[in-house]
Chain A
Amino acid sequence: MTEGVIFDVKRYAIHDGPGIRTTVFFKGCPLNCQWCHNPESINPEPEQSLDYRDPFRLNPFSKDNSNLIGEEVSVEAVMEEILKDMIYYEESEGGVTFSGGEPLAQIDFLESLLERCQEEEIHTALDTSGLAPEESIDRIIDLVDLFLFDLKLVNEDSHKKYTGTGNKTILENFQLLRERNPEIELRFPLIPGITDTKENVQGIKKLIRKRSGLSRISILPFHDVEKKYSNLGRDFDLAGVEPPKEKDIRDISDEFEKMGIKVEVGG
């Protein structure tokens, strides 16, 4: 039986795609973005946190309630949790969102979950960094109803500097997806001094000039998550950075809107 490591399941997720959704958070990510709002998602293994109280409770009767973030679980255990909110998906045309971490990093597990969702006729969204082998994308492209694709930095060097890896594969996968034409929603983290530069915004605009298949852009403004890092015993590189100003957010959304793309702030 396929198993995977996930660190949370959130019900009534209302910012991760259409309708009322359940978001499943995969643990493990090939990127290491300095601003990552879910630092617990990066390490693929279960890990200790200072204040963690198992919010997942896939197995509410487990005697072991350590402060461990992340749990190895079966496809069926996750499905059981997903299916609980079926009535809400139906009412709202919602569904399930696989997020992380990078779901594509656990491709077998992800594929099984997507297949099960298709069987149950549940709408699926995949929140991805785009960093995965082409073959992985091939395997799931027809099982995903909506891609939430993160585009962060267009410049390869900056990308390497702030996320720990280059963006060549990501951009290739982005183009690949566009050619195959599934529904895509772009997610753009707005990090002051890093992604909000004029060059980067222009670069992103250039990338998406052909807007077919792009349903919208979600701008995700930075906020301080230092506490999350300190609970994991890590330093937050962007500690003290102020969230972007309302006006800056508005200016950038206006730029995208002028291209005829629907913009949402806050995802």
Chain B
Amino acid sequence: MNDKVASCSDLKEEFRGRQAKIAPVNSRIAKLRDQTVRKEPEITPERAVLVTEFYRDNDLTDVSSPVTRALALKHIMENKELSLQPGELIIGDRGPEPKLVPTFPEICTHSPEDLEVLDTREKNPYRVDSETKDIYDKEIIPFWKGKTMRERVFETTSDEWQAAYNAGVFTEFMEQRSPGHTVLGDKIYRKGFLDIIDDIEESKTNLSPDDPNYQAKTEELKGMKIAAEALISYSERYADKLEQEVLTEKDEKRKRELKRMAEICRRVPARPPRTFWEALQYYWLVHVGVITETNPWDAFNPGRLDQHLYPFYKKGLKDGSLTEQRAKELLQAFWIKFHNQPAPPKVGVTSQESNTYSDFAKINVGGVTKDGEDAVNDLTYLILDVVESMRLIQPNFMVQVSKKNPDRYLKRALEVVESGFGQPAIFNAESIIKQLLRQGKSIEDARRGGCSGCVETGAFGRESYILTGYFNMPKVLELTLHNGIDPAKGGRIGISTKDFSSFSSFDEFFEAYEKQLNHFLDIKIEANKKIQKLYAEHLPSPFLSLLIDDCIDNATDYNAGGARYDTSYIQGVGLGTMADALTSIKFNVFDRDNFSLPELVDALDDDFQDREEMLSRINDYTPKYGNDLDYADDLMERTFEAFFEGVDGRPNGRGGTHRVNMLPTTVHIYFGEKCGALPDGRRAGRPLSEGISPVQGADNRGPTAVFKSVGKLDHAKTGGTLLNQKLTPDLLSGDKEKTKLAQLIRAFFRMGSHHVQFNVIGADLLRKAQENPEEYQNLIVRVAGYSDYFVNLTEGLQDELIARTEQRSF
């Protein structure tokens, strides 16, 4: 009687039913939420115009880079429009209004074609009006031609790099956006910007004229100070505006609110926050500063929100200045602020290009305190309520689960997961700490850390951890099988190792793969050093440097190695595909003599045309990663170790180190398009496996087997790994089911694993949504480290999500 067949209920009803479970919000929040969800993103020329004006109208020949950048920020902050929405409690937007998205022409300039595509594409469009297009044509594009970072990046890279880049061996993060990927620590809750300016002054007095970098450091500190003042004046401008509003506001209650908001803007960021509201507003002003200075990857994020805000929450409740209800409302208002800032779109876009409005700001809760104690508090639960009630794709949200955290907390998080929009992702606090310790961070800094972006581990507030590019491991395998020739184009892009007909053992073959791998990693790492240097020299971030320790003490920019810890990451992609492809070669070619390597390569070149028997051997009779079978899992580990050895510990050229993490975002679709057929039976152009998940549909022994397989990876050697699991709703339906799922996760974490995220939506429902998108506009799914509207995903990504194995209960 163990075959529990889910009743075939009307899927749409089920979907509606789950939506109806959303906790009610008050009318103010409902209105603001409705506005942000409905409003279509639009490109605003505001920032582009201001920054162009600044560079054009000022003689900057003798002005240092950090001072130039700080003055540019100041110009923007002193001249940008101040938006204020009816009922808003937290002010500040990146554009002149919510969901107006600025551009960063000094990094990369959108072409007229880009703007046209963005305006008209079906998925994730950004509206561009004719006036904006006109401004771009006349002012922006002509001025920046030949001066952008993107152009500098491509000029600095070698022909070899270009060939590998074009073949899809790796991507480059810094050609579209600036370094970032970082997260704020606890600094602003202790210090106002005036205190920070004092720190800058102190650092200046500590500078020694004998220091070979004296000049550069002096300029950096000068830039930092200007940048700090820029944010203070932005806030002062808001205070003035709010005071004006008070005079004309008719509603007494709103009048009092506006008055309070004006007071808050007079207080922060200049001086440290005293209340919950001030703390939230302070963070938000800082956030706007960071994402206006440049366009850093993953925007910015407050990190351990329940830890930072808890003292203010407790104090407010105690002295009666705050209620739980008010705290919740303020947090909901805060959530909406993130959603109001869609990610700036890429350049060189096509309508097919996968994209998302999510900008990957990821809020962390739970875990342990810096002393290693259980960090879960009342505010943690309140924030979980907020996440559940808001149901927004931004901000991204995660729970850190430590052995010390109570089961009730994990189960509450699973309840939110059950509500079915992919949040929160679940992280292992002990694994995060272990990774950071292995990299040499102090235990306190490790415990204060967490994850940002998708799954990237960092020492919050103290580390520059920069993702440099995704790396396509299966493409390297393909090149190894073709002795360095790219079968897609026919040209040589790799090194010549050995002709495929002459490998006599699997180890010999694997050695050739490693040689090819290291060849491309060398190319990538060399270019990384040059590109990062470009940013240090031409596009420092003095504002961001105010916030991350110890940039001020070191008088060195975030982009130049000023942070306490400095890490450059390369993201390995296609681990599951690699494991199965290598298993197929080892098993079928070398162990079983089912076919020869030349026969296999021949079949790959024909995309398995008329190779039914070979395909059946591979698909049905060959072990696969994800089933707790050591044969295949060992090759997953070996793939990882080779990648790790090739990257980990290599200098990044500014005092820091290269490390690996294992995540794809959506690049496994693009990388798949760049690969021909592979030995695991995957057809040409199909998606690769994502993250460290098994190949879609290859894992058929249930969740415990998947977790065991994935647990064999040495997560401590990474800076984050990503595992997707799709669950049928019945695995989470009752208290008993949630308890068992919680225990499953605890066991998974005992193995040292880093992360898991769940989609609790059946393939049937996704298929329906694909067929009738108009009826499923609100369906949110977990993609890869973030959630997004299913209907906005490209068809390839939709298909890939549907194909992922669905874990059900027995």
| A residues lining the B interface (CB < 8 Å) | 10-16, 19-20, 23, 25, 37-38, 53, 55, 57, 60-61, 63, 65, 84-85, 87-88, 90-92, 94, 99, 187, 189, 220, 223-225, 228, 243, 264, 266-267
Contact = CB atoms under 8 A, between A and B. Distances in A.
B708 A84 contact: yes
Interface string B731-749: 1000011001001101100
Given A15-B809, A85-B704, A91-B744, 19 more contacts: A12-B810, A13-B2, A15-B4, A15-B810, A19-B740, A19-B743, A25-B2, A37-B3, A38-B1, A53-B620, A55-B700, A57-B701, A65-B620, A65-B621, A84-B628, A88-B744, A92-B743, A223-B7, A228-B3
Given A20-B744, A57-B701, A91-B743, A14 B809 contact: yes
B750 A12 contact: no
A20 B743 contact: yes
A23 B708 CA distance: 18
A11 B702 CA distance: 6
Interface in B670-706: 700-705
5 contacts: A25-B2, A57-B701, A60-B631, A61-B587, A91-B750
Nearest to B749: A91
A223 B5 contact: yes
B2 A14 contact: no
4 smallest CB-CB distances across A and B, nearest first, come from A92-B743, A91-B747, A10-B810, A12-B702
A243 B704 CA distance: 31
A243 B7 CA distance: 10
Interface in B608-659: 620-621, 623, 627-629, 631
Given A63-B621, A92-B747, A16 B2 contact: yes
B10 to A, nearest CB: 16
A172 B299 CA distance: 71
Contact of A60 (B629, B807, B810): B629
Contacts of B216: none
Contacts of B703: 12
A55 B627 CA distance: 11
A94 B621 CA distance: 32
Interface in B327-358: none
Given A12-B704, A60-B629, A88-B704, A225 B5 contact: yes
A126 to B, nearest CB: 14
A interface, over-half SS: loop
A60 B700 CA distance: 12
Interface in B697-719: 700-705, 708
A180 to B, nearest CB: 25
A16 B2 CA distance: 8
A99 B234 CA distance: 70
B701 A11 contact: yes
A10 to B, nearest CB: 4
Contacts of B744: 12, 20, 88, 91-92
Interface centre among A12, A94, A99 (most CB of B within 10 A): A12
B751 interface: yes
A267 B1 contact: yes
A223 B2 CA distance: 11
A91 B746 contact: yes
A171 to B, nearest CB: 20
Contacts of B620: 53, 65
Given A84-B628, A92-B747, A220 B1 contact: yes
